[in-house]
C-alpha cells in the first residue's frame, strides 16, 4: 500500500474540515451494485470552491480553519541576488587532521579510541601507532644494537684501565674514553627505542572528532587519515560562482539550510578556477545553531550591490498552477483569492523578489497558500 505524505495528508485533512465547517458537501460514491441517488452537480455555494475565472471562493470560517495569513506588499529597491551551490569546510586555523608518520598497528590511547562527535583537547593523546618493521630491517637494527653493546663493553673496560693509570695517563685520554662510552650509550638508546617505542597520535587542536577511521589493532600506512577534528563554532562555506564578476560585487550573503537562515561574512575569492567556477569563501556567523557538518552541501544566496525594483514576498507564497507557472494568491475580496502569474528572482532563501505580476497594495497569501491552491 502506498504511504501518503504526512504534510499533504495534514493539508487535505484541514481542507476537508474547512469544507465540513462551511457546509460544503464532499462527493460520495456508491459501491458496485448500490445506488445512493444522484450526486449533487455542484458544490455548496457557501463552501470553498474554484470559480470559472480560476479564482477561489473561500469563506471566512474556512480561512480561519485553514490558518490563512496575508500581507500587503510594496514595491521597493531590493538587491540583485544569486543562488549558488556550496559546501561546508573546516576553518584551517581551528581544525586539523591526525596522520601517523610511521606505518604500524593502532593501539588505543589512555582514554581509549575516540568516537566521532567526541570532544577532545589540544595535545590529548588519541591513539598510538606501534611501528611495523620489515624482517630484514628489524634484523639489521638488532644486529646494530648488538654491535653497540659489544663496543660499549670494550669502551667501559678501556675506561676502567685508564682510570687505574690516571697518575701516568694524560687526562685527555681519560676524557676521550668517557666520551666514547656516553656516545655508545646514546646510540644504543636510540636504536633500542626505535624498536620498542610507540608513536603517539595527539590532537593538533581542540574541538570535536568529525570523523574516525580506525579500530584497535588496525594496520595503517604512513600519512593515512586517522582522525579529523573541527571546531563547530568556526566553520567556512565555499560556494562556486560560474560568473566571475560576482566576486567583485558582493554586498551580503545568506546561508540556507532547510528552513534555517543565517548571515554570512564574505572572506574573499580564490584566484584559480575549479570546475570552470570561481570559489567564494564565507564565514558562518552562528554555525552551532545550524548543526553543520564538514562536506555538507548548502545553498548560498549572494546579494550584489546592484539594486532592482521589485516586491519581496515569502517563498512559501509561491505556488504552481496546472500549466506549471509560478503563481501567488492575491486576496481580491473578503472571501475571494485570485491567482497571479509572477516572475521572480532569488533574494535571501526565505524570500524572493517578484519582478512582475504584483503591484503595491496587493494582499498576498503568505500562509495557507498550498491549501488555497488545492481547492477545486
**How many Cβ atoms from other residues are within 10 Å of residue 47's Cβ?**
21
- On whether the CB atoms of residues 240 and 86 are closer than 8 A, the answer is yes
So what's the pLDDT on residue 141?
Answer: 64
Which of 329, 101, 363 is CA-nearest to residue 223? 101
Could you tell me the residue ranges of all domains in the chain?
95-230
So what's the pLDDT on residue 25?
Answer: 40
Given a cut of 90, whether residue 19 has pLDDT beyond it is no
4 band by pLDDT with thresholds 50, 70 and 90: very low
How far apart are the C-alpha atoms of 313 and 353, rounded to whole Å? 7
Comparing 205 with 159, the larger pLDDT belongs to: 205
So what's the pLDDT on residue 170?
Answer: 84
249 band by pLDDT with thresholds 50, 70 and 90: confident
Which of 301, 322, 376, 345 is CA-nearest to residue 86? 301
So what's the pLDDT on residue 157?
Answer: 86
Q: Which three cell numbers stand for residue 134?
A: 620489515
33 band by pLDDT with thresholds 50, 70 and 90: very low
Given a cut of 60, whether residue 189 has pLDDT beyond it is yes
How far apart are the C-alpha atoms of 219 and 105, rounded to whole Å? 4
Given a cut of 50, whether residue 250 has pLDDT beyond it is yes
3-state helix vs strand vs coil in the chain, percent to 5? 25, 35, 40
- On whether the CB atoms of residues 372 and 68 are closer than 8 A, the answer is yes
Eight-class DSSP state of 39: P
| pTM of the predicted protein model | 0.63
154 band by pLDDT with thresholds 50, 70 and 90: confident
Given a cut of 90, whether residue 344 has pLDDT beyond it is yes
**How many Cβ atoms from other residues are within 10 Å of residue 5's Cβ?**
9
So what's the pLDDT on residue 34?
Answer: 39
Which of 107, 120, 288 is CA-nearest to residue 210? 120
Query: What is the 3-class SS of 211-249, one letter each residue?
Result: EECCCCCCEECCCCCCEEEECCCCEEEEEEECCHHHHHC
Instruction: Out of 77-86, 122-131, 254-263, pick the least confident.
Output: 254-263
Which of 135, 123, 128 is CA-nearest to residue 104? 128
So what's the pLDDT on residue 288?
Answer: 66
Give the whole-number percent of the chain exceeding pLDDT 90: 48
So what's the pLDDT on residue 7?
Answer: 53
So what's the pLDDT on residue 194?
Answer: 57
Q: Which letter, b or e, does each residue of 222-257 get, where b requires 16 or more Cβ atoms within 10 Å of its Cβ?
A: eeeebbbbbbbebbbbbbbbeeeebbeebebbbbbb
47 band by pLDDT with thresholds 50, 70 and 90: confident
CATH fold group of domain 95-230: OB fold (Dihydrolipoamide Acetyltransferase, E2P) (2.40.50)
Instruction: Out of 158-162, 276-280, 318-322, 358-362, pick the least confident.
Output: 158-162
So what's the pLDDT on residue 43?
Answer: 43
Instruction: Out of 33-42, 116-125, 170-179, 343-352, pick the least confident.
Output: 33-42
How far apart are the C-alpha atoms of 284 and 233, rounded to whole Å? 9
Greatest alpha-carbon span in the chain: 136
124 band by pLDDT with thresholds 50, 70 and 90: very high
| φ, ψ of residue 325 in degrees (nearest 5) | -95, 155
**How many Cβ atoms from other residues are within 10 Å of residue 355's Cβ?**
15
Average pLDDT over residues 321-342: 93
The size of the chain, in residues, is 376
Given a cut of 90, whether residue 138 has pLDDT beyond it is no
Residue with cell 533574494: 347
**How many Cβ atoms from other residues are within 10 Å of residue 313's Cβ?**
23
Amino acid at each position: 500500500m502506498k504511504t501518503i505524505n504526512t504534510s499533504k495528508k495534514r493539508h487535505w485533512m484541514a481542507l476537508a474540515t474547512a469544507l465540513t465547517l462551511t457546509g460544503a458537501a464532499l462527493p460520495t460514491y456508491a459501491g458496485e451494485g448500490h445506488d445512493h441517488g444522484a450526486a449533487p452537480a455542484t458544490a455548496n455555494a457557501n463552501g470553498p470552491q474554484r470559480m470559472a475565472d480560476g479564482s477561489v471562493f473561500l469563506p471566512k470560517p474556512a480561512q480561519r480553519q485553514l490558518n490563512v495569513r496575508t500581507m500587503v506588499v510594496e514595491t521597493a529597491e531590493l538587491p540583485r541576488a544569486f543562488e549558488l551551490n556550496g559546501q561546508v569546510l573546516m576553518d584551517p586555523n581551528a581544525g586539523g587532521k591526525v596522520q601517523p608518520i610511521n606505518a604500524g598497528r593502532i593501539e588505543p590511547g589512555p582514554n581509549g579510541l575516540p568516537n566521532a562527535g567526541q570532544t577532545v583537547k589540544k595535545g590529548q593523546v588519541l591513539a598510538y601507532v606501534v611501528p611495523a618493521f620489515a624482517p630484514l630491517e628489524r634484523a639489521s637494527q638488532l644486529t646494530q644494537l648488538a654491535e653497540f653493546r659489544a663496543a660499549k663493553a670494550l669502551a667501559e673496560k678501556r675506561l676502567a684501565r685508564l682510570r687505574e693509570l690516571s697518575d701516568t695517563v694524560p687526562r685527555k685520554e681519560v676524557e676521550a674514553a668517557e666520551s666514547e662510552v656516553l656516545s655508545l650509550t646514546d646510540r644504543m638508546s636510540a636504536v633500542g627505542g626505535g624498536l620498542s617505542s610507540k608513536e603517539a597520535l595527539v590532537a593538533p587542536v581542540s574541538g570535536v572528532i568529525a570523523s574516525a577511521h580506525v579500530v584497535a589493532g588496525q594496520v595503517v600506512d604512513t600519512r593515512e587519515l586517522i582522525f579529523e577534528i573541527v571546531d563547530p563554532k568556526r566553520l567556512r562555506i565555499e560556494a562556486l560562482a560560474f560568473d566571475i564578476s560576482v566576486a567583485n560585487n558582493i554586498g551580503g550573503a545568506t546561508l540556507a539550510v532547510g528552513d534555517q537562515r543565517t548571515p554570512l561574512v564574505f572572506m574573499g575569492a580564490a584566484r584559480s578556477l575549479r570546475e570552470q567556477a570561481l570559489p567564494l569563501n564565507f564565514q558562518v556567523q552562528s554555525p552551532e545553531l545550524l548543526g553543520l557538518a564538514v562536506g555538507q552541501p548548502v545553498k548560498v544566496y549572494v546579494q550584489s550591490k546592484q539594486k532592482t525594483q521589485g516586491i519581496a514576498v515569502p517563498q512559501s507564497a509561491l505556488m504552481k498552477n496546472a500549466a506549471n507557472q509560478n503563481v501567488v494568491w492575491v486576496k481580491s475580496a473578503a472571501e475571494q483569492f485570485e491567482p497571479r502569474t509572477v516572475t521572480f528572482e532569488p533574494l535571501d532563501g526565505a524570500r524572493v523578489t517578484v519582478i512582475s505580476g504584483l503591484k503595491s497594495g496587493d494582499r498576498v497569501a503568505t500562509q495557507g497558500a498550498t491549501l488555497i491552491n488545492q481547492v477545486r
